[in-house]
């Protein structure tokens, strides 16, 4: 019954999305103006129905209702409850339902709370949001019904991919989806502004909180996903330029550029056409990522769909949404006025420069991700990895980081480098000192050297905007900017140190035998069988010590065997210190020598690697501070405007002698 309720709610939500699209479009015409009043309520109810549908899917997964095909294919009664619930979105249909649910709820919030845009622009925005949602509703109801029943009912389910049975799954995909759908709202705002030719500061102020919120969630999602892959897959790396990783990075790059561009438009009424274009591009990258992950074109732990028919459906949605938006932009871009001008040496100039650099990096990642797929379709096997992405990305990332350090100190409209020259002395000295130190160490590559030096300079420069300010009265968006830029420096420092100084060792040792990796002494004390709720494992007991006088600590890497579905995984063991992380993975049993079993161990010492993810969290926290500050400022502005309007109305009543007639 719960599944039927969810399916009914999904059909009703799809019907309301169609009504929202038609009513919103007709309300922009003179004959359909009377329909304007129903668009907001319809959007709100549509979001509520989508939420009900998703709650029903969560319920059937939580209770392991094996009469639902999706549950039988992706769950198991012996799984812990948290992984039963997380399994709701750990599959193709569930992840797409989560997508449309967040999109519907976001559209409902826009309909209920947005008061700053002109009514025609808001109607066009809600119609655009409904148009995008309708395509995904059609996809679910026609090609990927999440509530399809299964007869006969199996005695047990197939289970979830063991690699996805991790707390990271309960956190990583939903945060990314919130980011993707936040960009869909920005996309809809851009479409609404183009349709009504109302591209200006009001459009930017309405869009900015959604862009900022999407950017925060994307940052958290990518950071969490990186750490999840780092410890769960047992490979010891934090980024591999995998196409699925790139699918989440590309929207983040576009959203970062859009965030800065929309801030310039909101504050200085500049970059109008560029901002609208980035709004289209950012969501386009989300759609491309959706196609890559869910079309079956990739084989990955993330790639849920293997049905070419569904892949074709997604490709059609991508073509319609992106192609239609780009066509609209081409037709209306000429009507978007230029906006206020500014000098090249100004804060706006610095933001434009970095937007161009981000766009170039986005192009590099997009090309490197799609080229192997196109080549394979033509019969050629091509591999594109770090040797391409790292140096090509650095060509644009290095100048971008330099301007990132300088830009926040520049004034709006027009400035000169001579005015801020003294402030740049210490950052420049830190950059030089960092490069000299890395060269003196020797054996360090060019990119880690540049990254280390720039991290030191950017770390100092990031706090300079607080100079000569009353810190207690400094607006939250300024604090957010400082913290986010400092987080970039922290992450860059961690990346550079990990790349330059990591030590790896692959050994086969007997019980009781010791080895060393970097400053760590490691002894294999035992290998014993253990059992979990839906797995068994061989667990190694390692006694590790930092240096000659460090305290002995026990860590326990495992080699797990799941039975639903049957699969073997490696559970790494991590030991974190202030200056890095010791990382251990248990392999298989090696050939015995002298009658004693030997066990394969893969060991790493990774200096300052945890700063990579700490920096990511600082970046997201900076965005959260900026969002709180912006929303509070907007609310104060709205309340002030309503207060003024109320006073004017009261004065008009007094002047007309109506005061005494009030009940």
* Amino acid 314: pLDDT: 81
Domain boundaries, the chain: 421-499+612-663, 503-608
The whole-model pTM stands at: 0.92
Helix, coil or strand: residue 567: strand
pLDDT at 660: 43
**Is the bond into 565 cis (omega within 30 degrees of 0)?**
yes
Q: What is the 3-state secondary structure (H, E, C) of 348-376?
A: HHHHHHHHHHHHHHHHHHHHHHHHHHHHH
What is the pLDDT at residue 169?
64
How many residues are given for the chain? 663
pLDDT digits (tens, 9 = 90+) for 536-558: 999 999 999 998 888 999 999 99
Q: Which residues of the chain have pLDDT under 50?
A: 300-306, 659-663
Residue 235, token pair as written in the block: 């490979």
- The CATH number corresponding to 503-608 among 2.130.10, 2.60.40, 3.30.40, 2.60.98 equals 2.60.98
Per-residue pLDDT at 545? 96
Q: What backbone phi and psi angles, to 5 degrees, belong to 35? A: -80, -10
Among 502, 519, 485, 505, which residue's Cα sits nearest to residue 609? 502
Going by C-beta distance under 8 Å and a sequence separation of 6 or more, which residues neighbour residue 163? Answer: 232, 233, 301, 567, 569
Question: CA nearest 93: which of 304, 312, 296?
Answer: 304
Residue 326 CB neighbours (<10 A): 14
Contact partners, residue 561, CB within 8 Å, separation at least 6: 535, 536, 537, 567, 568
**Which residues pair with residue 526 across a beta bridge?**
541
What pLDDT is recorded for position 566?
83
Q: Where are the alpha helices (DSSP H) in 197-242?
A: 201-232
Predicted confidence at residue 173, as pLDDT, reads 80
Q: Are 157 and 76 in contact (CB under 8 A)?
A: yes
Conformation bin of residue 502: beta by default, left when phi > 0, alpha when psi is -120 to 50: beta
């Amino acid at each position: 019954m719960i599944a039927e309720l969810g399916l009914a709610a999904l059909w009703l939500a799809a019907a309301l999305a169609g009504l929202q699209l038609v009513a919103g479009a007709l309300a922009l015409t003179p004959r359909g103006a009377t329909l304007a009043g129903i668009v907001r309520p319809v959007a709100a109810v549509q979001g509520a129905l989508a939420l009900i549908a998703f709650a029903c899917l969560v319920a059937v997964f939580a209770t392991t209702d094996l009469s639902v095909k999706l549950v039988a294919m992706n769950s198991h009664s012996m799984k812990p409850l948290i992984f039963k619930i997380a399994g709701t979105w750990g599959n193709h249909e569930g992840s797409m339902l989560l997508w449309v649910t967040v999109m519907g709820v976001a559209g409902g919030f826009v309909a209920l709370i947005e008061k700053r845009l002109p009514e025609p622009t808001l109607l066009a925005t809600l119609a655009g949001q409904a148009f995008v949602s309708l395509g995904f509703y059609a996809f679910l109801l026609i090609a990927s019904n999440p509530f399809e029943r299964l007869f006969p009912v199996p005695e047990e389910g197939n289970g979830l991919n063991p690699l996805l049975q991790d707390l990271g799954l309960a956190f990583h995909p939903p945060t990314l989806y919130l980011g993707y759908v936040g960009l869909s709202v920005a996309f809809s705002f851009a479409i609404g502004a183009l349709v009504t030719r109302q591209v200006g500061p009001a459009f930017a102020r309405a869009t900015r909180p959604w862009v900022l919120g999407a950017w925060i969630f994307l940052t958290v999602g990518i950071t969490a996903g990186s750490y999840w892959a780092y410890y769960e897959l047992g490979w010891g790396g934090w980024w591999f330029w995998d196409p699925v990783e790139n699918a989440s990075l590309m929207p983040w790059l576009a959203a970062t550029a859009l965030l800065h561009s929309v801030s310039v438009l909101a504050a200085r009424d500049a970059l109008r056409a560029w901002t609208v274009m980035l709004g289209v591009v950012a969501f386009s990258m989300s759609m491309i990522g959706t196609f890559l992950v869910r079309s079956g074109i990739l084989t990955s732990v993330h790639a849920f769909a293997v049905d070419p028919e569904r892949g074709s459906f997604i490709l059609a949605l991508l073509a319609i949404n992106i192609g239609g938006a780009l066509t609209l932009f081409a037709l209306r871009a000429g009507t978007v006025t230029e906006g206020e001008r500014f000098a090249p040496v100004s804060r706006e100039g610095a933001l434009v420069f970095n937007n161009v650099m981000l766009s170039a990096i986005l192009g590099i990642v997009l090309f490197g991700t799609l080229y192997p797929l196109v080549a394979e379709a033509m019969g050629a096997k091509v591999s594109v990895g770090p040797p391409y992405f790292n140096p090509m990305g650095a060509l644009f990332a290095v100048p971008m980081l330099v301007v990132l350090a300088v830009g926040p100190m520049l004034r709006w409209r027009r400035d000169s480098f001579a005015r801020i020259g003294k402030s740049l002395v210490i950052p420049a000295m830190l950059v030089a000192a960092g490069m000299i130190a890395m060269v003196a160490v020797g054996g360090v590559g060019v990119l880690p050297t540049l990254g280390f030096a720039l991290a030191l300079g950017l770390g100092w420069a990031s706090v300079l905007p607080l100079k000569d300010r009353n810190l207690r009265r400094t607006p939250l968006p300024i604090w957010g900017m400082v913290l986010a830029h400092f987080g970039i420096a922290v992450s860059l420092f961690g990346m550079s140190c990990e790349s330059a100084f990591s030590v790896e060792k692959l050994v086969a040792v007997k019980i009781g035998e010791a080895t060393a990796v970097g400053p760590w002494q490691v002894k294999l004390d035992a290998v014993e069988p253990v059992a979990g709720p839906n797995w068994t494992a061989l667990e190694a007991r390692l006694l590790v010590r930092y240096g000659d006088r460090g305290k002995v600590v026990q860590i326990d890497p495992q080699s797990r065997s799941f039975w639903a579905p049957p699969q073997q995984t490696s559970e790494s063991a991590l030991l974190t210190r202030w200056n890095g992380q010791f990382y251990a993975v248990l392999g298989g049993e090696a050939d015995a020598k002298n009658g004693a079993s030997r066990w394969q161990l893969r060991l790493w010492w990774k200096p300052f690697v945890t700063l990579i993810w700490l920096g990511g969290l600082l970046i997201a926290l900076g965005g959260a501070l900026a969002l709180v500050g912006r929303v509070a400022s907007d609310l104060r502005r709205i309340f002030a405007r309503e207060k003024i309007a109320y006073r004017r109305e009261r004065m008009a009543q007094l002047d007309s002698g109506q005061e005494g007639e009030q009940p």
